Amino acid sequence: MRLPFVGVLLILLLSVTFGIGHSSYELATKQILDRAKDRMRHVWSLNRRIFVQLTAKGKSPLGGQVLNSKLEVEAETYRLFYDLAGNLSVVSVAELDDPLLRRRVQRMAKLQLQGLRPKDYEQAKDLLRQIHNFVNGPLVCPYEDCSARGSLAMYPQIMNKNMHTKLYEDLVINWKAWRRAINEKDVAKNTFIGYVRLLRIAATYNGHVTPSRTWYLNYDTENFQAEMEAVVWEIMPLYRELHAYLRREVQAAYPKADTKSDGAISAPIMDQILSQDWYPHQFFRTPHQGRQHQLPSVHRRLEEVLVTPVKINRKAAEFFESLGLMVMPNIFYDRFSRRMNDEEGGAECKSQVYYFPPDVALRYCPKLDYKKMMQIHGTMAELQYHLYKMQLPFGLDTEPCPGFGAAIAETVILASGTPRHLHRLHILLNDSLTEEQSLNRLFRMGVHTLIAVPQYFINDKFLVDVMDGRIGVKDYNCAYWGLQDKFAGVQPPLQRLNKDFDVDFKFYRGLNPETSNTKKFLAEILGFQFYRSFCLASGQYKPGDPNFPLHNCDFYDSKEAGKKIRDMMQLGATRHWRDVMEIATGERKLSGRGILEYFAPLFTWLKERNKQLDIEPGWDADELCRRD
């Protein structure tokens, strides 16, 4: 267990034992938190230093100064929260009258990995670095000869190769080669086992008999996994129709995969489908063929109208200003908005936000394209959230649960990518697409969203079921494929054994609580719930009116939608996330309703098309994982 500082422990024990009043007890508790905030100010100053170092002219972004500062931030943040949780763990919440003080204590007395003792925490970090290397390290020789080209990383190199290939043999070779490389002598499996052991230890420090309660810590929900599963089943009829349509496309494109008409889809092909969501030369057909039905290219107009990433940033900020949220002052653009170097962005080129109250800062991607335009709207949502949360007490100046802020960002990403908003920006000539183009766009969006959501859930459920002991070490692999069969209609490309360990690279990415599959699942589902609510409030979505469908809703300039966003952002973590989401949606549970209404035209088309082709939705996977 974590041990509190002796001086603080004595103060609190004496307060209770000798009947010192609530005010003195609360004062002692506030002093603990005040000292912690003083230490947090040092972390914020380090973040400011990192931003300055990265943006100073003539400095290498990969220099040692920056690396040392980042390591210092990580170490100091760990020590701060570890010490603080130890102190707050002895505070009797019942003795506190101030509801915000009670909330601060409850949230900060329990931790995930940062609750581990220093030695265990260092081991957890080492394991996470190794897990990161499984995905991003050059470990793979697909054809067992790296002398000429060198080894490849799963991301982005092998993923890009898989996206472009038209040969099923290549997909299977790459699928096997990566798993063979990372799991030679059971390295990947043993790394995972060691990491789960540490997650279980962290749970014991929180007094959690069931380890997943610590994994789902700030969701404050009994059996949160069951709520997520209910959403998966809610959207499953739509998923099954899309799966059935894609399965027929797979049969036509990859006859060597031997996909049965009522069977599951091979895992490497499903991975390729997801990677080709917006790829212009995908192997699967969109609903309407012909050049006149394809989506209009916006890249040239984007360059002509918005010219530079700086102008895109200002347009993204303007979106929030139109809603009645904070105006980004000129000093922000002059001092706290900086362009990344061209070599820094990498494959994803994601903009970075820095938080050091009373300021926030942005380092933005230099690329100028449609995807980056939408993403910077999401990044601006994060900046706005920081500006509102920093007014709150330390410990509550954060999102109410992991993924909540990303869900708000998702709504603005959806709105900014609509034809209606692109027309507002003078990028498209019309504020809507033809019916055929609109369906093709929805289909692409469906591949992007509907294929991913069950995978987030499967990866989360597998981890949690292992953590809680429902899946034993000897059953890992077949249990994983059982989940892929049940929730996604996916099967391995060849016979596998329980001694293998076939989880995909997105599973490894989600082992870090900061990038967990739980967080991604909630952001996607709640994002569509929020989007539906904002669109109804703005009058830009009118159910049943074909002129105002949800998938073309742009709530720009809606003060009603803006009030919902501002009210949620201002609350930070002062209230339970269900209380905060209720402000926007009137609901207190996750729901697939937003997704189903967004994709309703696609759902109708898929059902009709599959019926015309005599395609039966659903699947019966082959038994390709043999228990040892």
Tens of pLDDT, residues 207-252: 999 999 999 999 999 899 999 999 999 999 999 999 999 999 999 9
Secondary structure (3-state) at 176? helix
The domain ranges of the chain are 22-109, 305-412
Q: What is the mean pLDDT of residues 275-301?
A: 90
Q: What is the mean pLDDT of residues 2-9?
A: 51
Tens of pLDDT, residues 270-282: 999 999 998 989 9
Residue 71 CA to residue 74 CA, distance in Å, equals 5
pLDDT at residue number 544: 94
Please tell me the pTM assigned to this model: 0.95
- When pLDDT is cut at 50, 70 and 90, the band that residue 6 belongs to is very low
- When pLDDT is cut at 50, 70 and 90, the band that residue 429 belongs to is confident
Helix axes of 435-450 and 600-612: crossing angle, nearest 10 degrees: 100
Map tokens 């109410």 to a residue: 400
CB neighbours of residue 320 within 10 Å: 23
Tens of pLDDT, residues 41-95: 999 999 999 999 998 865 544 456 787 889 999 999 999 999 999 999 999 999 9
Residue 49 CA to residue 378 CA, distance in Å, equals 25
Helix (H) or strand (E) holding 361: strand 359-364
- Annotated binding residues for chloride, as ranges? 219
- When pLDDT is cut at 50, 70 and 90, the band that residue 18 belongs to is very low
Using alpha carbons, select from 171, 22, 166 the residue that is nearest to residue 102: 22
Residue 363 pairs in a beta bridge with 338, 352
% of the chain surpassing 70 pLDDT? 94
- DSSP readout, 20-71? --HHHHHHHHHHHHHHHHHHHHHHHHHHHHHHHHHHSTT--TT-HHHHHHHH
Residue 540 CA to residue 563 CA, distance in Å, equals 16
Tens of pLDDT, residues 323-362: 999 999 999 999 999 999 877 767 778 899 999 999 999 9
- Annotated binding residues, as ranges? 219
Using alpha carbons, select from 8, 76, 15 the residue that is nearest to residue 43: 76
Ranking 188-197, 303-312, 485-494, 577-586 by mean pLDDT, the lowest is 303-312
Which tokens sit at 100?
Answer: 């915000």
Ranking 69-78, 147-156, 526-535 by mean pLDDT, the lowest is 147-156
- When pLDDT is cut at 50, 70 and 90, the band that residue 24 belongs to is confident
CB neighbours of residue 216 within 10 Å: 24
Residue 380 pairs in a beta bridge with none
Q: What is the mean pLDDT of residues 474-479?
A: 97
Tens of pLDDT, residues 371-399: 889 999 999 999 999 999 999 999 999 99
pLDDT at residue number 193: 98
- When pLDDT is cut at 50, 70 and 90, the band that residue 147 belongs to is low
Using alpha carbons, select from 107, 35, 41 the residue that is nearest to residue 77: 41
Residue 446 CA to residue 296 CA, distance in Å, equals 18
Q: Which long-range contacts (CB under 8 A, 24 or more apart) does 611-614 make?
A: 613/248
Residue 497 pairs in a beta bridge with 626
Judged against a pLDDT cut of 50, whether residue 313 lies above it is answered with yes
Residue 479 CA to residue 466 CA, distance in Å, equals 10
Map tokens 């005599």 to a residue: 614
**Is residue 316 a contact partner of residue 384, using CB atoms and an 8 Å limit?**
no
Map tokens 């890992």 to a residue: 476
Judged against a pLDDT cut of 60, whether residue 3 lies above it is answered with no
Q: Provide the 8-state DSSP code for 474.
A: G
Using alpha carbons, select from 229, 550, 269, 273 the residue that is nearest to residue 415: 550
| Continuous H helices in 390-451 | 404-416, 419-424, 435-450
**Is residue 513 a contact partner of residue 113, using CB atoms and an 8 Å limit?**
yes
Which tokens sit at 546?
Answer: 């074909």
The mean pLDDT of the chain is 93
